[in-house]
Structure 1
Amino acid sequence: MFKSIRFKSITIYFLLVFIAMVIVGVFIIQQFEQYHLGVVRGNLTQIANSVMKTLEEIDWQNNKEEIQKNIAPYEKMGMEIYVIEKNNDFTIISSTNLSYWNQNAMYILESDLILAAFHGEIKESDIVSQQEGQRSSKNMVFPLYDEHSRITGIIYLRQNLEDIYNTLDQSKFIITRATILALLITIILGYFIAKSITGPINDVTIKAEKMAKGDFDQVVEVKSDDEIGQLANMFNHLTARLKAVLQEISNEKKKMDTIINNMADGLIATTAEGKIIHANPVAIEMLKIDGKTLKKKSFDEVFLPLNNKLTLNYLSTQEKWYGNEIIDMQEGVKLRAKYAPIIREDDYLEGIVVLLQDVTEYEKLENMRKEFVANVSHELKTPLTTIKSYTETLLDGAMEDKGLATQFLGVVVSEADRMTRLVQDLLQLSNLDYKQGKWNKKEININDIVKSAVLKLEVSAKNKRQHFVHTSYDDEIYVFADKDKMEQVLLNILSNAIKYTAEEGKIEVQVQLKSSYVQIIIRDNGIGIPKEDLPRIFERFYRVDKARSREMGGTGLGLSIAKQIIEAHKGAIEIFSEEKKQGTRVVITLPTTNEGLALN
């Protein structure tokens, strides 16, 4: 009970009100006392000035009997006035209290005040009696001067303060009663206020316990907009969020099951003892085993016939149970089995996961890579062999025949140029593959690029008496592209058209706008490309007629480079052809930057 928030809240309210009432009460009493003492002081000062003025008028030193007449009326006001003459005995020569006449004032009144007054000071003191029967009073003294400003006596005034202090005592009693009443009200109000705070908290606690037991359909009633209301809102938000998270976890589980069951790779999970607990459809299909039959088998029973290394004993010898093995299946299918452990937080082996990947296509790509390396080696070896043989012939004496030497050196230069072109093409392909090439893309008019490429190759076409037909689009068509790279592509396609088109042949270049794309169509009536070669036409070093291509100085990389450049511009390049019929048609498609042009 004493540790509850309700008890602590009531205690805090009680202490706050108690301290506030004490501070206010003390302040009021002090101010009340100071005010009334100030009023008494003012009255005494006023009376003293009046008496002193009267005494000066009657020449009191020579008419002492007149003094009593002048101060007697003040007795009715509860005032005591003493006139003390300056002599060795400090004699009271007149007083409202007749019993003190002709007595020594030092023994009756406050001696320190008397002495101070005879030294020219106006002084006062408050005598507050705490004992019953004794009086509280305010005492003030004023010096009396003659015409030569000499002190001849003093006036001693005393005012009874009993009424004031009785009033103060009554005020204290009233404030005390008010404090007690306020504290009682505080306890009652504090109880209900604390209850209004702890009630919702208790409600939240009870419903939180129910949530801990699995009942998440808990809602706290929000009764206010304060912090308690915010707590209730936050609890309700937490409940809703928790339900959403649990639903999300359930959805994620379903999603994960969907991913596992529909992933391209096969997946098998086993216990630490090797019992198969899960296999997705792809794994079942890859292993050619019925799903129900598969789950009845152990890890060793499934994989040992496929690869004698895939056993639990072998896997346990591998570093941290990680590794992979190749499985040769029927019909040339190759599977890579990657295995990894399922480890709990306490480092206990809970099971094994095996990922089956069909690497048949990868093996084909690897073979293509090897073929590419072989082609590069061959393409480099051929000109090197030619250069070496011609150089050796020159060294063996052919240098003597100037005409023959010039011919041989021309062949060496030609082969060196061919090697240079090959290396440059390989370097450009490498940069395109790894996106290391420098691009200078900006808005360019595609008509200008096509026209520039046609003009550069017009002389080559005229040398073969070929007819160039160039049709530009009426309006300007802008693309965001690298001008030099685009011109390189066009020059490559056009030069191929010139090379493989007979003399007096026809080459057409046309620019068309299709929606938000521009098409550059290059058509010739040359020898064409066999249908079976079209799918591989963009492969590196692939040539339809290898001997003829080398004779014409080709490296076999031009179309591969062109395709990568166009795709880097978010475009496409297509080749349509059929041998010995209508020649070849190349279509380059690029996105434009002026889409509104198509609407016109």
Structure 2
Amino acid sequence: MFKSIRFKFITIYFLLVFMAMIIVGVFLIQQFEQYHLGVVRGNVTQIAGSVMTTLEDIDWKNNKEEIQKNISPYEKMGMEIYVIEKNNDFTIISSTNLSYWNRNAMYILDSDLILSAFHGEIKEKDIVSDQEGQRSSKNMVFPLYDEHSRITGALYIRQNIEDIYATLDQSKFILTRAIILALFITIILGYLLAKSITGPINDVTIKAEKMAKGDFNQVVEVKSDDEIGQLAGMFNYLTARLKSALQEMSNEKKKMDTIINNMADGLIATTAEGIIIHANPVALGMLNTNEKILTKKSFDDVFSPLNDKLSLKYLAKEKKWYGNEMIEMDKGVKLRAKYAPIVREDGELEGLVVLLQDVTEHEKLENMRKEFVANVSHELKTPLTTIKSYTETLLEGAMENKELTGQFLTVVESETDRMTRLVQDLLQLSNLDFKQAQWNKMETNVNEIVENAILKLDVSAKNKKQQIDYHTSEEDLTVFADIDKLEQVVLNVLSNAIKYTAEAGKIHIETKNENDVVKIIIHDNGIGIPSKDLPRIFERFYRVDKARTRELGGTGLGLSIAKQIMEAHDGKIELFSGEGITGTKAIITLPAVEKAFASV
């Protein structure tokens, strides 16, 4: 309480008024006292002059009765007049108080004043007594001279001034009461004034404390246009600006959190001491952990087992705060970790940010690209080598042997046809990849396409004494498709069935409609496909038995082309082999004509 500005304000206000009232009171009492004592002095001096004039006209030493007659009227005025003769006894020869006649004045009156008078001085003295029985009075003494200007006596006059001091005491009492009342009013006014000043300040303090705790919905009531009102207005303005700034920061933080949490890459932030302060969901998924477990570990505990070059200890030792490292996880997952430092304004290291990128698919695609280039190179190299060797043989003189020349040219033509098929397949794949293929889609009957494919490959099947069993559940299985492209898919699957089915084997073909989906099922009893090869069977140039495939004339691109053609028709092609299935079963699915038009 005593430290509050309100108490200090009231105290200072109280002391100022108190000191002002005391100074004014003392000044007024003194002036009042001096004024009234001056009035008494003037009266006494005037009476003394009158008495002295009278004494000059009479022989006052030898005519005491005459003196008494002249001074007696003044007794009614409350004055005591003493005429003192200059002798050894300082005898009072006349007085308004008869009991003091012929007595020694030194024992009754003020001796200092009497002695001063006999030395020719006019003196006065105020005697103020607080003792009971004694009165306050103004005493004045005047020397008396004879005709030779010699001091022959003294006139001593005493005027009662108790009324003056009683009035002064009453004035002091009234003034004291006025001071007390004024101080009481001062305290009340000071309290109200202090409250009017400290109230808004206290309100600002309370609401500032609430703001410090996070509640920014605080508004101070502006009650005036003075400095306090301006302070309240400025507080409200500051609150609004701060709230707006925090809202902007919150929005930016939400945006940043949304970006970080939904970005495709993982992000982990750590302090310079190795305390992990942030990890987005993608990073948690990449590291196969959760936030609760991760926050209990240090940065080095997490990354040192994966790659010791990613530990803070190693980075600090090498002073290498920018770079990237590879991390190999379980199941062949590969992560690229790019890291950069968090630096404070003073240049000190604050922490480290690590960006995790899953490059498994990228590595896989890169390997596939390399393998594709190698396969294309190999597929071209083999026929080119054959053509070159046969051509060189012919140029060296074998052309003279017409039979041998015919055989060589037949081989060259065969290899040329092989390269032509390869190039055509590559061009078709390229067009499918870049959406440049020309489609001539129309309503067509799947049964007709299958029957045409069987007719075209019937000779190949008969050469291997194979039996093709075709069955359809409906006569009209209409789809919306490119007839040539769909026939190419059926031919590719059926030709593979013929190729990889032994002599006298069986191939079963069935077409049907299931829930507005047209299915073409080709099932052979051939050698089948190993389970480990099934996931990659639609990859370009992928072969289960490369040597045998080349002997049979395949390029390794047929199934890749078939898959892309089916995807362009909103359909799919699936191969099943291995457990529970004899040979290989291929299922080609297409939306029926109603569903096809609905998706166009």
TM-score normalised by length of structure 1: 0.49
For the pair shown, the structure with the greater C-alpha radius of gyration is 2
Q: TM-score, normalised by structure 2?
A: 0.49
